[in-house]
């Protein structure tokens, strides 16, 4: 299932980037903070539930995804990067997990397991003291 994010539901704020970069870092606010409220979004309810269940440090307890993009010196490129990462997060939650159907072990696999247990038990029995 493909779910696209409505850009109107994403809140961008320009901030100053961290790290090396010379005077450009001190003068220009080109890094981007992106906030996306999962509960207030137009995503399908199943995708919202899976997103909120994710154990991801970027998702707050209030259900807001907070991303920071500062790779580029361009504000627009950082916005695109943040949107791409947000879309990847939503895409990962859009995939419904496969439900495991329990199966019974085959008779051959049970026999092989018991044979291996017997063999390893014999090896351990031979590790004892030698009586002369």
85: in domain: yes
Q: Where are the alpha helices (DSSP H) in 15-106?
A: 23-27, 45-53, 75-94
How would you write the pLDDT of the chain (132 residues) with one tens digit per residue? 678 888 889 999 888 887 776 676 667 788 899 999 999 988 999 999 999 998 889 899 998 999 999 888 888 999 999 999 999 999 998 888 899 999 999 999 999 999 999 999 999 999 988 887
Q: Is residue 61 part of a domain?
A: yes
Q: What is the SS3 assignment for 59?
A: strand
Range of the domain at 24: 7-94
Q: Could you tell me the maximum CA-CA distance found in the chain, to the nearest angstrom?
A: 87
Phi-psi label, residue 22: left if phi above 0, alpha if psi -120 to 50, beta otherwise: left
Number of domains in the chain: 1
What order of strands is seen across the sheet that includes strand 10-15? 10-15, 31-37, 64-69
Please enumerate in sequence order all residues whose Cβ is within 8 A of that of 32, keeping only pairs 6 or more positions apart, or say none.
Answer: 12, 13, 14, 15, 68, 69, 70, 75, 78, 79, 82
CA dist 44 and 99 (Å) reads 20
- pLDDT score at 4: 85
Q: Is residue 116 part of a domain?
A: no
Distance CA 86, CA 4 (A): 10
CATH of the domain at 72: 3.30.160.20
- Domain assignment present for residue 12? The answer is yes
In order of 30, 55, 60, 86, the CA distances from 70 in angstroms are 7, 23, 20, 14
In a domain, 101, yes or no: no
């Amino acid at each position: 299932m493909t779910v696209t994010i409505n850009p109107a539901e994403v809140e961008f704020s320009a901030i100053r980037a961290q790290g090396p970069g010379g005077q450009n870092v001190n003068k220009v606010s080109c890094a981007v903070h992106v906030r996306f409220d999962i509960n207030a979004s137009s995503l399908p309810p199943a995708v919202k539930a899976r997103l909120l269940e994710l154990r991801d440090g970027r998702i707050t307890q209030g259900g807001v995804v907070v991303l920071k993009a500062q790779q580029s010196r361009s504000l627009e490129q950082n916005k695109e990067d943040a949107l791409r990462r947000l879309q990847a997060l939503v895409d990962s939650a859009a995939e419904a997990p496969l439900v495991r159907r329990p199966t019974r072990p085959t008779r051959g696999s049970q026999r092989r397991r018991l044979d291996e247990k017997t063999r390893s038990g014999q090896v351990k029995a031979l590790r004892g003291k030698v009586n002369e």
